[in-house]
Amino acid sequence: MAAAAIYFAAEFITAAAWTDPPYSYTYHFISNLGVHGPATAFGQFMYSPLAWVMNTGLVLFGIAVLAGVLMLRGLPAGRRWALAGTATLLAAGITLVALFPGSGESGGGPVDFHALGAFTAFTGGNVLAILAGRAHRFLGVSRTRGRVLVGLGLLGFGSLAVFMAVVASEGALIGLAERGIIYPFMIGYLVLGAALVPARPRP
């Protein structure tokens, strides 16, 4: 729950500070929030006065997800390693996104670390939601919530295909399509975290 809250707070605060012109959740790439600029790349103007807030939030998000997964109890060894490994990939990917902002300025090398990090985070985040949903009975989570987690992860992968198509066609809803990849697993983490909060005993 803390991981998702960190991400949404960092995104909202950073986007609110981008006022000239206003940041668009439907048009602009999410990565633009991490580029101080001013710069123009990929056909978009980038100027994020609080880029450091977004990039710091991304790193903290990755750390929080990994810590949360490592704190899970009741998992068989195989499922524990699968969840921990996927969370590690997510944390590593999102950290690369923060360390190599998507301004296109670092694109001259043999490896585009920003793109690599983004794809790793997209994939890891949704796979983690699916794996957690499939492990619902070991975690003490209801089957319904487990199915919701799996469904959200699959929705994220479906949105990844849409995002790639929109980018290829240079569509105007790039930001919306990209959020369709990330928001589902963020919501999934909130659902999972809420299910794991111990119920308070009735007086």
The token pair that represents 22 in the structure block: 């206003």
Is the pLDDT assigned to residue 181 strictly greater than 80?
A: yes
Task: Summarize pLDDT for 76-106 with one digit per residue, the tens.
Answer: 999 999 999 999 999 999 999 999 987 555 4
Encode burial over 51-89: b for 16+ CB neighbours within 10 A, e otherwise: bebbbbbbbbbbbbbbebbeebeebeeebbebbbebbbb
The average pLDDT across 25-29 equals 91
What's the confidence (pLDDT) of residue 177? Answer: 92
What's the confidence (pLDDT) of residue 47? Answer: 87
What's the confidence (pLDDT) of residue 110? Answer: 72
Mean pLDDT, rounded, of the chain: 90
User: φ, ψ for residue 79 (rounded to 5)?
Assistant: -70, -35
What's the confidence (pLDDT) of residue 168? Answer: 83
Which range among 39-48, 74-83, 178-187 shows the weakest confidence by mean pLDDT?
Answer: 39-48
For the entire predicted model, the pTM comes to: 0.90
Band (pLDDT 50/70/90 cuts) for residue 202 is: low
Q: What is the 3-state secondary structure of the chain?
A: CHHHHHHHHHHHHHHHHCECCECCCCCCCHHHHHCCCCEEECCEEECCCCHHHHHHHHHHHHHHHHHHHHCCCCCCHHHHHHHHHHHHHHHHHHHHHHHCCCCCCCCCCCCCHHHHHHHHHHHHHHHHHHHHHHCHHHHCCCHHHHHHHHHHHHHHHHHHHHHHHHHHHCCCCHHHHHHHHHHHHHHHHHHHHHHHCCCCCCC
Task: Summarize pLDDT for 107-160 with one digit per residue, the tens.
Answer: 456 778 888 999 999 999 999 999 999 999 999 899 999 999 999 999 999 999
The token pair that represents 36 in the structure block: 């101080």
User: φ, ψ for residue 50 (rounded to 5)?
Assistant: -110, 45
Residue with tokens 């111990």: 198
What's the confidence (pLDDT) of residue 109? Answer: 62
What's the confidence (pLDDT) of residue 71? Answer: 92
What's the confidence (pLDDT) of residue 173? Answer: 87
What's the confidence (pLDDT) of residue 46? Answer: 86
Is the pLDDT assigned to residue 200 strictly greater than 70?
A: no
What's the confidence (pLDDT) of residue 172? Answer: 78
What's the confidence (pLDDT) of residue 78? Answer: 92
What's the confidence (pLDDT) of residue 106? Answer: 47
